[in-house]
Structure 1
Amino acid sequence: MTFAFFLGAGNIIFPPQAGLAAGEHMLPAMFGFLSTAVGLPLIAIIAVAIAGGGWKGLTRDLPPAVATLMAVLIFIIIGPAFAAPRTGLVAYEMAVKPFIADAGQMSLTVFSVVFFAVALFFAWSRGKLIDLIGKFLTPALFAVLAILAVAVFINPQGDILAAQGDYVDMAFTKGFLEGYNTMDTFAALMFGMLIVDVIRSKGITDEKATCTYLIYAGLIAAAGLAFVYISLFYLGATSSAVAAGADNGGAILAAYVSALFGPVGQIILSAIVLLACLTTAVGLISACSDYFSSLTKLSYEKWAIILAVVCAVVANVGLSQLISLSIPVLFALYPVAVALVALTFVRRWLPNPRMAYRVVLSVSLLFSLIDAGKFIGIDMSVLKFLPLFDYGMAWALPTALAMVVTRFIGSVQSVQDKTQTA
């Protein structure tokens, strides 16, 4: 179930495009992508387990209002604003549109309503979630993906060409940043709570056992995601002959599958995309509804309806516009999520966790806004002296430095307080 929740729209469309652009530098680009699209979500799941399986545990050293605001922003990003509508859009563009001779806005609208109505039906079955998705939809999805992966490695459709663009000189970093687009570190922080609820619904109440099962779920999901990404990266890298002129990962994947399997290829691709996008939409609507119902008087079921309707509306914006809107938001908030996860692992060694969390997260947000501003066209050249500025990671070293400083500055303050008391 956890694997299916993570494997959604972005997980399918971004790796082929990155693989094609990376070309002969596919390996460093792929390892960079795996760092943020597999490594960080797995670490985030483990952090949720260590913190007790919930957002409150992760953010217990932050002011409650700040912790709630962070959670709401993340849920809006992975829910109705970007990630959830994107599942519907990608499902339409790649799985349904090729079968419609005269596809237009009306067909997208009708599909969006049907797609999110089905997602809503599954999301309502909260107690049966692990059975519906984990036991039925995920095996079907993985079986089709395995067929595609084996075919790609046995019968590649072209030669690996020279790297393009940023992949020439900074393949690992470019891949690392591309991994942001999956939004899976955000999702991991929030899915962790949903997975804990499902584990407890199975009668497991012991916290240590719950933590263990949550980590197992994260490891299984990470292994599955790595398998998918590696095959899709190789697909992209060997797609130059069959996907010339393709401007997005969906088009690359469609052309490749068609070349491999002929007319039946589109049916295979449609099955992969529909299953992947549907399971992720279910997970996102469930997680968001669960959290928002805990903040308000509205029930889980009412929030699920509201979110499904909003997602269906937003999905009609268009895929390209939605992706372009989401990228600066990701640049601004992803580093904060990374810093929060890192703090969870080092918390036991922090002499003053409350101060450390406030300082480190503030520093990560401040410097991540520089990268976000640069992406939307604001002139940030005056800050070019910052380490990793040119790589879109100006936040990394200042955040790490803030973490190191708060490891010792609290100790100094504690010693001073004790001396004054004496």
Structure 2
Amino acid sequence: MSRKNVLFLGLMLFSLFFGAGNLIFPPLLGLESGNNFGSAITGFLITGVLLPFMAIMAISLSENGLVSIGSRVHKLFGLIFAIIIYMSIGALYGIPRASNVAYELGFKQIVNVNGWLALFVFSLLFFGATYFISLNPKKIVDRIGQLLTPILLVVLAILVIQAFVKFEDIASPAKGSYASSPFVKGFVEGYFTMDAVAALAFGIVVINALKDKGANSKSALVKGTLGAGVIAGLGLAVVYVSLGWIGRVIPGENDFANGAEILTVASDLLFASGGGLLFGSIVTLACLTTCVGLTNACARFFNEIYPKIQYRSYVAIFVLIGLLVSNLGLNAILSFATPLLVFIYPISIVLIILSLFQHFAGGGKMMYRLAVCVASIFALYEALTSIGYEVEGVTGWLDVIPFFEHGLGWVLPAFVAAMVGYGMDKCNNEVIE
């Protein structure tokens, strides 16, 4: 595996991760964390960069990717959970969300349009480009790694460099939770980028891209994935810190609702009339590359579990579903997907960490089953509360669990359950290396 191929694969992976959500979270963190920006962005980088990197490595170390990781709980669970992951962050959420965000924060910044017809026409063009790029999976590294990613990085660099030159770093107080616990707040914000879940889907793209470039042995796959992951992780870290810094130093006392507004205003301040065009280009490219990655991942996954339908047909199916769902509007997509994502994310993190732990220290089914069961209970509670359902008599005693108020109450109980399960596997001589 040549260094050139690993470099382009790393650029592709960076671009697949760097969607519109990743673009708009850091600036708001920078604005609200103020003088505590350093602690806040450190927490954000752990969950926004380190966890996705761990997920990619976990997939590369598994013989059959996400399915084999989930099968350590139970074979049927592994298949069903993998399908839920791909459908939730793919056709039912990630793909149509990318199109909608590209339209709302990208296209509408360039062209002053409104209404369902404008969204429909844009969706046709957006998904037409997605279909074309995704059609030949063997060229995805060339098309994204060598073409789209460099363009995206150049546009981002122009914005960031101008901000470093023109904006003045003035001390400002932190707001809300960033004042009392900036690291934890930043950690949670990175948690909600959902990149660790997306990495479970993107893992198959990386593995297949490596195989297409001639890496057939497990050691070559792991080495190539490690190199690509480091490149993508470093790129994401630099961009996150830069975008967060823009929010930290943007002048004025504007009351911004989200990071998109911050970047829009920053673009206007730095480039006047050309600001909207610049920001719109960034968002559209970021969403397009993410959409291509999700489409490719979903199509390759379902083609492997049901090969009677060709890869190209799966691409067409997911593009068509994305086109239809995206025209429901962003609010409808978010309201439908949020409970599902809140449910699957803790389970995904547990599987990622245990998979890596097993590679170095071994582990058996009880370790996986107990940890996933405990995480699932907390995840179900969070999913129910996200749709407004109150579980009477539960919240009071759950409040004593560390980080429960931040939505991370599952972390310590799942860790304890995993260690108990690991001990049981040791006693029963069922630890598998």
TM-score, length basis structure 1: 0.92
Aligned to 2:395: 381
How many Å separate the matches in 1 of 2:361 and 2:220?
Answer: 27
Match status 1:175 vs 2:186: yes
Match status 1:217 vs 2:228: yes
5 Å-filtered alignment, 1:31-50, equals 31-50=42-61
How many Å separate the matches in 2 of 1:217 and 1:25?
Answer: 31
5 Å-filtered alignment, 1:122-201, equals 122-156=133-167, 159-201=170-212
Aligned to 1:237: 248
Match status 1:262 vs 2:277: no
Q: Is the 8 A contact 2:30 2:246 kept in 1?
A: yes
Aligned mate of 2:218, from 182, 207, 217: 207
Give the secondary structure class of the aligned counterpart of 2:208. helix
Q: Is the 8 A contact 1:79 1:285 kept in 2?
A: yes
Shift of 1:386: 2.3
Aligned to 1:295: 305
Match status 1:278 vs 2:288: yes
Shift of 1:154: 2.4
**Measured at CA, do residues 72 and 88 of structure 1 come closer, stay the same or move farther in structure 2, by a change above 3 Å?**
same
* AA partner of residue 391 (structure 1): H
* AA partner of residue 252 (structure 1): I
Aligned to 1:420: none
The Cα offsets for residues 244-287 of structure 1, whole Å up to 9 and x where unpaired, read as: 23322212111111101111222222221121111111100000
Q: Is the 8 A contact 2:295 2:315 kept in 1?
A: yes
Q: Is the 8 A contact 2:13 2:229 kept in 1?
A: yes
Shift of 1:18: 2.3
How many Å separate the matches in 2 of 1:56 and 1:93?
Answer: 35
Pick which of 288-297 and 342-351 moved more: 342-351
Q: Is the 8 A contact 1:157 1:241 kept in 2?
A: no
Aligned to 1:227: 238
**Measured at CA, do residues 259 and 63 of structure 1 come closer, stay the same or move farther in structure 2, by a change above 3 Å?**
same
Pick which of 178-187 and 82-91 moved more: 178-187
Q: Is the 8 A contact 1:289 1:300 kept in 2?
A: yes
How many Å separate the matches in 2 of 1:166 and 1:304?
Answer: 43
Q: Is the 8 A contact 1:51 1:58 kept in 2?
A: yes
How many Å separate the matches in 1 of 2:341 and 2:95?
Answer: 15
Shift of 1:327: 3.6
How many Å separate the matches in 1 of 2:169 and 2:267?
Answer: 13
Shift of 1:160: 4.9
How many Å separate the matches in 2 of 1:327 and 1:22?
Answer: 25
* AA partner of residue 381 (structure 1): T
The Cα offsets for residues 272-311 of structure 1, whole Å up to 9 and x where unpaired, read as: 1121111111100000011112233322111111111111
Aligned mate of 2:351, from 323, 340, 345: 340
List alignment gaps of at least 5 residues for structure 2. 1-11
**Measured at CA, do residues 46 and 308 of structure 1 come closer, stay the same or move farther in structure 2, by a change above 3 Å?**
same
How many Å separate the matches in 2 of 1:414 and 1:293?
Answer: 37
Shift of 1:55: 2.3
Shift of 1:128: 1.0
Give the secondary structure class of the aligned counterpart of 1:393. coil
How many Å separate the matches in 1 of 2:357 and 2:204?
Answer: 21
How many Å separate the matches in 2 of 1:301 and 1:316?
Answer: 23
Q: Is the 8 A contact 2:167 2:249 kept in 1?
A: yes
Shift of 1:370: 2.6
Aligned to 2:258: 248
Aligned mate of 1:312, from 312, 323, 327: 323
Q: Is the 8 A contact 2:366 2:422 kept in 1?
A: no
Match status 1:398 vs 2:409: no
Match status 1:79 vs 2:79: no
The Cα offsets for residues 304-348 of structure 1, whole Å up to 9 and x where unpaired, read as: 111111112222233344345444333321111111011112215
Aligned to 2:101: 90
How many Å separate the matches in 1 of 2:98 and 2:42?
Answer: 25
Give the secondary structure class of the aligned counterpart of 1:287. helix
* AA partner of residue 407 (structure 1): Y
> What value does the CA root-mean-square deviation take over the aligned residues?
2.1
Give the secondary structure class of the aligned counterpart of 2:327. helix
The Cα offsets for residues 171-226 of structure 1, whole Å up to 9 and x where unpaired, read as: 22222222233221112112111111111111221221121001111111111111
List alignment gaps of at least 5 residues for structure 1. 416-422
**Measured at CA, do residues 101 and 271 of structure 1 come closer, stay the same or move farther in structure 2, by a change above 3 Å?**
closer
Q: Is the 8 A contact 1:17 1:236 kept in 2?
A: yes
How many Å separate the matches in 2 of 1:5 and 1:135?
Answer: 13
* AA partner of residue 302 (structure 2): F
Shift of 1:374: 3.6
Give the secondary structure class of the aligned counterpart of 1:394. coil
Aligned mate of 1:361, from 372, 379, 383: 372
Shift of 1:53: 6.5
Q: Is the 8 A contact 2:98 2:290 kept in 1?
A: yes
Give the secondary structure class of the aligned counterpart of 1:101. coil
Shift of 1:350: 6.3
